[in-house]
Amino acid sequence: MGSVAQQRVIAEQKAFLDRRDRCGKNIVCIGDVEQARNEELMAQRRKVEQPFPVEEMQRLTRAWKTPEGRPLYQRLLAGLAIYPLRQATLDNGYQLQWGFQPHQATVQTLGVLDPQGKIAALVTADDVYRAWRSEGGTYSGRLRIYVRSAGELGKLLPVIYSWTLADLLGFNLDCKGKDAELCSQAKQASRPPMEAYDLGCKHPNRPSCRLPVIEHPPVAVPLERFSQ
């Protein structure tokens, strides 16, 4: 809010509306102006959005199964079925992309991409979305985090935890306004159940591939950054 980028978008949108208004009731003119604006927006979107690296995800998770015995790749795909994926780009160049299963919004997949667009972590979230609101201030559900490298977990966990809190609260938050108390309560509560696994483990699915998760990770990203 209030950033230079946002001010530029507002100015560009105002210029488009002014051009359209000058068409009056000329339907052909209105159509041409709207088509040109649509092409501008599509070009901007291609510049800022990274396509989700599905082939890399398949390669990284080839031998992996969920604790329930389901191929991990299939579970991840199920949570990415809604397109376009939701996205949030962080100041350090990392990008979070997430989706959910049609007609079952509580089956979610989150991907954390590094500045080069490579997968840094994959997360399955089950029964987490809006769980705080539905359960009256308690956590339910479970997150499983799969990191490309065990050494990256400490850096990525606060980011993933920030997204998790926003997810628990239903996204689209105003933590400085109407949702201030809700955000504060969620941040002070204990974290939801989280498990972490090393995708670089030589023997996938074995207990030795599991990584320790700290009890109280910090909130590294403002919850307002995540919208859906």
Q: Measure Cα distances from 181 to 33, 137, 139, 190 in Å.
A: 44, 12, 17, 16
- Alpha carbon 153 to chain centroid, angstroms: 17
Reference 82, options 145, 147, 14, 129; nearest CA is: 129
Q: For residue 151, what pLDDT is reported?
A: 93
Rounded CA gap, 97 and 89, in Å?
Answer: 9
Cis peptide before 84 (omega within 30 of 0): yes
Strand-pair category, 95-101 with 86-89: antiparallel
pLDDT of residue 102: 84
pLDDT for residue 134 = 67
SS3 content of the chain, % helix, strand, coil (to 5): 40, 20, 40
Cα 156 to Cα 164: distance, rounded to the nearest angstrom: 12
Distance CA 64, CA 35 (A): 45
CB-based burial, 76-89: b 16+ in 10 Å, e otherwise: bbbbbebeebbbbb
Chain center to CA of 110: 5
Q: For the chain of 228 residues, list the mean pLDDT of each consecutive stretch of 10.
A: 83 93 93 86 72 93 92 93 86 93 91 95 95 69 94 95 94 92 87 92 93 91 93
pTM of the model: 0.79
